[in-house]
Amino acid sequence: MKLVLFDLDNTLLDGDSDYEWAQFLIDQGVLERASYEHRNQEFFDQYKAGRLDIYAFLDFQLAPLAQFPRVQLDAWHVQFMAQKILPKISAAARRLVSQSVSEAQLCAIVTATNSFVTAPIAREFGVAHLVATEPEQIGGRFTGKVSGTPCFREGKVTRVAQWLAAQGRRWEDFSESRFYSDSHNDLPLLERVTHPIAVRPDHPLRQAALARGWDIIALD
């Protein structure tokens, strides 16, 4: 059996949905540009450098979800998809996902970005399964806190194993497993699959992929 996993940001998307969501809220006047734009860029730079404190970032990123009713958040997300996300989905990315969904027994998007932001994006790609960082909800409203293990670095391996168990599966059930990613932050999950694939990799991941003989592709 074949398992196919995709990172989302800068892999299937030509950009970062987490970063773009915060920028969208700033552009809408929901968040104060003077303070939020600098912090958003600072966290993004820390991520790229491999120095991100995921819990500090989630405190920043999930806080706006707790400030507004879900109906308003959903309305903003429709605009966000049209303005920020759809232009960042290439035809090549769509083809790769469509082929994988048709060929694999199980396929999922695995992302550190929270599921509120990414669930509609997964649906746009036609991927039924999403393994993402989960924002806590109480009574149908977000609390601004994270629920469970963040889907980040080693947490991606943990969360995928939990998701497989929920499907009645184990890693050992799959003779072939693939994971597509752009980031060195995803090395733990890339090392877990049988076929790691670097997509437009950052410099540290490119060096690791070249040293280990991993496939390197560009979805242009």
CA distance 21 to 60: 12
Residue 88 in contact with residue 167, Cβ under 8 Å?
no
Amino acid at the residue 113: T
CA distance 60 to 144: 9
Residue with tokens 């970005």: 113
Neighbours of 89 (CB within 10 A): 19
Residue 181 in contact with residue 163, Cβ under 8 Å?
no
Annotate 5-58 with three-state secondary structure. EECHHHHHECCCHHHHHHHHHHHCCCCCHHHHHHHHHHHHHHHHHCCCCHHHHH
Q: Is there a catalytic annotation at residue 9?
A: yes
Give the chain's count of helices (H) and strands (E).
9, 7
Residues forming the active site? 7, 9
